[in-house]
């Protein structure tokens, strides 16, 4: 019998992480500090008062996707991932990103590598219409080793955005019957990479050499996995100007389980998902697992990966068609992927099965 492969077994334990996040409650004692002393808690992150508006400050990383960049010896796209992870989080509150800063911790800050890293940062900044006024590169060889001597690094990006009080997306008015509109992802993005590595790449016990081309694919597997995270800033903000968006979610870690945050701000609701369009790489991950002696269940896939939709908005059912139209005119493929229910559960219909995710 095949061993079930999970994100936890690949090195990211959900239960431990959730337990660790409980410590974040310690930070609440700081919420009244500072010049204005007001922090508003939202489903995903918090915003703080700064004069006549609120600021949304986010700091994010790309996790072990940096190891794929090293494996491919290709460093000009990983900066896009870093920017995307930050700005896609900022916009969830309705905020417009104002600026970015980056922090590379490197084994060695080689000038050629730095230029390649920054190509991605610049491209991501252009896609999100956001300046990068500063950043840092730290040489920390004692900490960062990497797959190749001299090329190890980690990447962190922070972004700040602003939103007027009347434009904050609070997530408190979501009700049964509302529609979940998904925006197409570009692939695995920057989440679940530990499991991707474990299954697909020989370096970590998987099946393929990095430059193998799997059956049915037209490029090397490492480049499929390295495809940059899509940036939704312009399309999303254009939509909020024309449609009443009740909730917004960046579908990253914990994937569709992550919708439970809305259930804490709008009580008595649940979610039912009926539309998944996973790109071929997701199917490759799942079908390859048995070849290395494991199995990834459909439930685990939906708890770990975006499965084709990288961002979603919650709107009234009467606004769903308009939201889709606006998004598609903005250059993002969008579809109804689910609805809000009164079940208090998160349910997915996938491959002719009904899966209860929460």
Closest alpha carbon to 169 in 244, 103, 267: 244
Q: How confident is the model at residue 291 (pLDDT cuts 50, 70, 90)?
A: very high
Residue 151: CATH number of its domain: 3.30.1330.10
Please determine, for residue 129, whether its predicted confidence score (pLDDT) is greater than 70. yes
Q: How confident is the model at residue 128 (pLDDT cuts 50, 70, 90)?
A: very high
- Find the DSSP H helices in the chain: 14-21, 65-72, 78-90, 111-127, 193-200, 221-226, 233-240, 260-263, 280-288, 298-304, 320-329
Is the residue at 41 inside a domain?
yes
Q: Among 167, 200, 234, where does a domain finish? A: 167
List CB contacts of 65: < 8 A, sequence separation 6 or more: 78, 81, 190, 193, 226
Please determine, for residue 277, whether its predicted confidence score (pLDDT) is greater than 80. yes
Residues 120 and 142 in one domain: yes
Q: Among 100, 132, 167, where does a domain finish? A: 167
pLDDT at res. 238: 97
Report the C-alpha gap between 9 and 128 in whole angstroms: 35
Burial class of residue 244 in the structure, from the number of CB atoms within 10 Å of its CB (0-12 exposed, 13-18 middle, 19+ buried) = middle
Is the residue at 262 inside a domain?
yes
* CA angle in degrees (0–180, nearest 5) for 59-60-63: 155
Is the residue at 105 inside a domain?
yes
Burial 338-358 (b: 16+ CB within 10 A, else e): bbbbeeeebbbebeeeebebb
Please determine, for residue 3, whether its predicted confidence score (pLDDT) is greater than 80. no
Summarize pLDDT for 313-345 with one digit per residue, the tens.
Answer: 999 999 999 999 999 999 999 999 999 999 999
Q: Among 107, 134, 167, where does a domain finish? A: 167
The fraction of the chain above a pLDDT of 90, given in percent, is 91
First to last CA, the chain: 26
Residues 21-30: what's their mean pLDDT? 88
**Residue 288: helix, strand or coil by DSSP?**
helix
Is the residue at 192 inside a domain?
yes
Residues 274 and 195 in one domain: yes
Higher pLDDT, 247 or 17: 247
Residues 339 and 201 in one domain: yes
What are the backbone dihedrals phi and psi of residue 101, each rounded to the nearest 5 degrees, phi first?
-135, 150
Is the residue at 321 inside a domain?
yes
Q: How confident is the model at residue 281 (pLDDT cuts 50, 70, 90)?
A: very high
Residue 66, both tokens: 């940096």
pLDDT at res. 102: 98
Residues 117-141: what's their mean pLDDT? 97
Residues 87 and 206 in one domain: no
For the entire predicted model, the pTM comes to 0.95
Closest alpha carbon to 70 in 251, 193, 205: 193
Please determine, for residue 1, whether its predicted confidence score (pLDDT) is greater than 70. no
Q: How confident is the model at residue 19 (pLDDT cuts 50, 70, 90)?
A: confident
Summarize pLDDT for 165-216 with one digit per residue, the tens.
Answer: 999 999 999 999 999 999 999 999 999 999 999 999 999 999 999 999 999 9
Residue 279: CATH number of its domain: 3.90.650.10
Closest alpha carbon to 200 in 187, 182, 213, 189: 213
Residues 207 and 253 in one domain: yes
Closest alpha carbon to 54 in 33, 72, 40: 40
* Residue 342 contacts residue 177 (beta carbons within 8 Å): no
Is the residue at 282 inside a domain?
yes
pLDDT at res. 14: 72
pLDDT at res. 178: 98
Residues 161 and 216 in one domain: no
Is the residue at 308 inside a domain?
yes
Residue 114, both tokens: 């730095």
pLDDT at res. 146: 84
Report the C-alpha gap between 121 and 271 in whole angstroms: 35
How many structural domains comprise the chain?
2
Q: How far is CA 49 from the centre of its chain?
A: 26
Residues 90 and 204 in one domain: no
Q: How confident is the model at residue 2 (pLDDT cuts 50, 70, 90)?
A: low
Report the C-alpha gap between 314 and 335 in whole angstroms: 12
Report the C-alpha gap between 229 and 190 in whole angstroms: 7
pLDDT at res. 24: 83
Burial class of residue 20 in the structure, from the number of CB atoms within 10 Å of its CB (0-12 exposed, 13-18 middle, 19+ buried) = exposed
Q: How far is CA 106 from the centre of its chain?
A: 23
Q: Domain containing 267: what range?
A: 179-356
Residues 107-129: what's their mean pLDDT? 96
Is the residue at 99 inside a domain?
yes
Residues 55 and 76 in one domain: yes
Length of the chain counted residue by residue = 358
């Amino acid at each position: 019998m095949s061993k079930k492969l999970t994100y936890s077994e690949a090195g990211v334990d959900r239960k431990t992480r959730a337990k660790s996040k409980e410590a974040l409650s310690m930070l609440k004692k700081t919420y009244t500090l500072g010049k204005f002393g007001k922090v508003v808690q939202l489903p995903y992150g918090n915003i703080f008062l700064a004069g006549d508006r609120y600021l949304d400050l986010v700091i994010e990383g790309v996790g072990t996707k940096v190891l794929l960049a090293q494996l491919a010896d290709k460093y000009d796209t990983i900066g896009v991932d870093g920017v995307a992870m930050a700005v896609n989080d900022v916009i969830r509150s309705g905020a417009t990103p104002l600026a970015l800063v980056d922090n590379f911790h490197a084994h060695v800050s080689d000038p050629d590598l730095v230029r390649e890293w920054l190509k991605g940062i610049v491209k991501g900044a252009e896609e999100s219409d956001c300046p990068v006024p500063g950043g840092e590169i730290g040489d920390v060889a004692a900490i960062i080793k990497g797959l190749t001597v001299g090329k190890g690094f980690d990447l962190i990006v922070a972004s700040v955005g602003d939103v007027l009080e009347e434009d904050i997306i609070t997530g408190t008015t979501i009700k049964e019957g509302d529609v979940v509109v998904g925006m197409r992802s570009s692939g695995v993005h920057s989440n679940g990479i530990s499991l991707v590595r474990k299954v697909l790449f020989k370096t970590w016990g998987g099946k393929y050499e990095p430059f193998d081309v799997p059956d049915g694919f037209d490029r090397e597997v490492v480049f499929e996995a390295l495809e940059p995270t899509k940036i939704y800033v312009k399309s999303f903000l254009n939509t909020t100007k024309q449609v009443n968006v009740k909730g917004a979610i960046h579908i990253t870690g914990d994937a569709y389980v992550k919708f439970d945050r809305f259930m804490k701000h709008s009580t008595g609701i649940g979610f039912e998902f009926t539309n998944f369009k996973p790109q071929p790489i997701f199917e490759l991950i799942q079908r390859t697992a048995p070849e290395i002696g494991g199995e990834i269940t459909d439930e685990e896939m939906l708890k770990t990966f975006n499965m084709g939709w990288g961002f979603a908005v919650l709107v009234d059912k009467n606004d769903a068609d308009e939201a889709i139209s606006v998004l598609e005119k903005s250059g993002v493929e969008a579809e109804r992927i689910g609805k809000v229910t009164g079940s208090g559960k998160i349910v997915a219909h996938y491959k002719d099965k009904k899966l209860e995710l929460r």
